Amino acid sequence: MSNDGCALSIDLGGTKVEIAIVDPQGTILTHERLPTHVENGAERVVEDILSGATALMQRSSYKIIAVGAGVAGQISSNGKEVLFAPNLKWRNFPFKEKLEKRLSLPCTILNDVRAATWGEWLHGAGKNCSDFLCLFLGTGIGGGIVAGGHLINGFSNAAGELGHTTLREGGRLCSCGHRGCLEAYAGGWGIAVTLKEAATSSPKKAAALIALAGGDAKALKAEHLSEAVKKNDPFAQEIYSQVIKSLSNGCVTFVNAFNPKLLIFGGGVALGMPMLLEKVQEEVKKSALGATGSPLQVIPATLGNTAVVIGAAAAALQSATFGSDSLRVHSA
Ligand SMILES: [Zn+2]
């Protein structure tokens, strides 16, 4: 057990909130999960978080010196407001102030993917590496960029949206409103659309896939693709090759742009697909420029779904120690 000051950490998503107490070594000491009642409005969601957090702190005797929150949404440059969080239906919500007022502790608010990247950097697969990219493949594709020992925030605190890289001009409509994004072909929802389209146009070839979805082509999801590939279904393998191709093409762009040492893949979709990392590494090394492709390693994220709470806690402790303007890893 750590006697150093710990952080209270919050991973706020559209369906659930994870609240944890995390020590400076990145160990989760205790945690609790609550449902996010988005329908009740922002104020009530905050009330639920505060009661959960207060109960968690009262049940344990850890010394809490800072609060970190990773939010599934865009955070203002000053780190005070959640500007837009579609899954929470929040717009311009002063989340930092709400937390600080009641908890009387300094709070650090980050985008959740940025928090997860921070977590992987300090305590996960990116440890001691000053140049890497994180790609989290879940329903969509989230990205985080660490370059030259800095987590890249961008001018308006919105950098890292790698999933919305244009892959095909005039292609499939994406959740962002644009067409042909990487996410629309290699994110969980994009893979599901591809499967449904394939099942509709080639029902006979897709018979094994459709059977995995209980005979309902409309119920096809990304995990059915990985199941069918594992069973060596040739049609599924064909579709899987296209997914790998799309993902690799996106990664070639990122690798040529940022020259990372590591490409860290996280998220259920990425880690559930057989040999995905190996295949992407092979493709990217083939197509990226020699100087950027040859040193590249594609590796799995190691913190799983704890990355956001661990990262938000680390950012909060860093911010409490060095000041909020200094969110840097000084040793990197
Ligand atoms: Zn998009």
For residue 278, being part of any structural domain is answered with yes
Give the separation between CA 132 and CA 297, rounded to whole angstroms: 10
**Number of domains present in the structure of the chain:** 2
Whole-number Å distance, alpha carbon 180 to ligand 1 midpoint, is 7
For residue 251, being part of any structural domain is answered with yes
Whole-number Å distance, alpha carbon 92 to ligand 1 midpoint, is 22
62 backbone dihedrals φ, ψ, rounded to 5° = -70, 145
For residue 327, being part of any structural domain is answered with no
Produce one character per residue of 266-293: b if its CB has 16 or more CB atoms within 10 Å, e if not.
bbbbbbbbeebbebbbebbbeebeeebb
Give yes or no: residues 228 and 101 share one domain: no
Whole-number Å distance, alpha carbon 179 to ligand 1 midpoint, is 7
Give yes or no: residues 71 and 174 share one domain: no
What does each of the 332 residues of the chain score in pLDDT, given as a tens digit? 445 899 999 999 999 999 999 999 999 999 999 999 999 999 999 999 999 999 999 999 899 999 999 999 999 999 999 999 999 999 999 999 999 999 999 999 999 999 999 999 999 999 999 999 999 999 999 999 999 999 999 999 999 999 999 999 999 999 999 999 999 999 999 999 999 999 999 999 999 999 999 999 999 999 999 999 999 999 999 999 999 999 999 999 999 999 999 999 999 999 999 999 999 999 999 999 999 999 999 999 999 999 999 999 999 999 988 876 656 544 43
Question: Tokens 């949404």 — which residue?
Answer: 73
Give yes or no: residues 237 and 253 share one domain: yes
In the chain, beta strands by DSSP E: 6-12, 16-22, 28-35, 64-71, 74-75, 82-85, 90-93, 107-111, 132-137, 141-147, 150-151, 262-266, 297-300
Give the separation between CA 21 and CA 57, rounded to whole angstroms: 8
Give yes or no: residues 213 and 77 share one domain: no
Whole-number Å distance, alpha carbon 214 to ligand 1 midpoint, is 30
Range of the domain at 146: 129-301
For residue 328, being part of any structural domain is answered with no
Whole-number Å distance, alpha carbon 163 to ligand 1 midpoint, is 7
**What does DSSP assign to residue 159?**
T
For residue 177, being part of any structural domain is answered with yes
The amino acid occupying position 205 is K
Give the separation between CA 75 and CA 94, rounded to whole angstroms: 10
Name the CA radius of gyration of the chain, rounded.
Answer: 20
For residue 1, being part of any structural domain is answered with no
pLDDT value, residue 3: 58
Give yes or no: residues 246 and 211 share one domain: yes
3 state DSSP class of 39: helix
Give yes or no: residues 297 and 169 share one domain: yes
Whole-number Å distance, alpha carbon 24 to ligand 1 midpoint, is 36
Give yes or no: residues 252 and 210 share one domain: yes
Residues 291-327 have pLDDT tens digits of 999 999 999 999 999 999 999 999 999 998 887 665 6
Give yes or no: residues 147 and 89 share one domain: no
pLDDT value, residue 266: 96
**Residue 235: CB partners within 8 Å, gap ≥ 6?**
198, 202, 205, 206, 208, 209, 228
Whole-number Å distance, alpha carbon 190 to ligand 1 midpoint, is 11
pLDDT value, residue 326: 54
Phi-psi region for residue 289, left (φ > 0), alpha (ψ -120 to 50) or beta?
Answer: beta
Whole-number Å distance, alpha carbon 175 to ligand 1 midpoint, is 6
CATH code at 151?
Answer: 3.30.420.40
> Residue 238 corresponds to which tokens in the numbers above?
């064909």
Give the separation between CA 214 and CA 325, rounded to whole angstroms: 52
pTM of the predicted structure, to 2 decimals: 0.93
Give yes or no: residues 82 and 111 share one domain: yes
pLDDT value, residue 329: 47
For residue 318, being part of any structural domain is answered with yes
Give yes or no: residues 159 and 289 share one domain: yes
Give yes or no: residues 51 and 149 share one domain: no
Give the separation between CA 128 and CA 279, rounded to whole angstroms: 25
Whole-number Å distance, alpha carbon 67 to ligand 1 midpoint, is 31
Whole-number Å distance, alpha carbon 119 to ligand 1 midpoint, is 25
pLDDT value, residue 320: 87
Whole-number Å distance, alpha carbon 181 to ligand 1 midpoint, is 5
Give yes or no: residues 318 and 295 share one domain: no
3 state DSSP class of 315: helix
Give the neighbor-by-neighbor strand order of the sheet with 6-12: 28-35, 16-22, 6-12, 64-71, 107-111
Whole-number Å distance, alpha carbon 166 to ligand 1 midpoint, is 8
For residue 183, being part of any structural domain is answered with yes
Contact present, 137 and 270 (Cβ < 8 Å): yes
Whole-number Å distance, alpha carbon 250 to ligand 1 midpoint, is 13
Whole-number Å distance, alpha carbon 5 to ligand 1 midpoint, is 40
3 state DSSP class of 193: helix
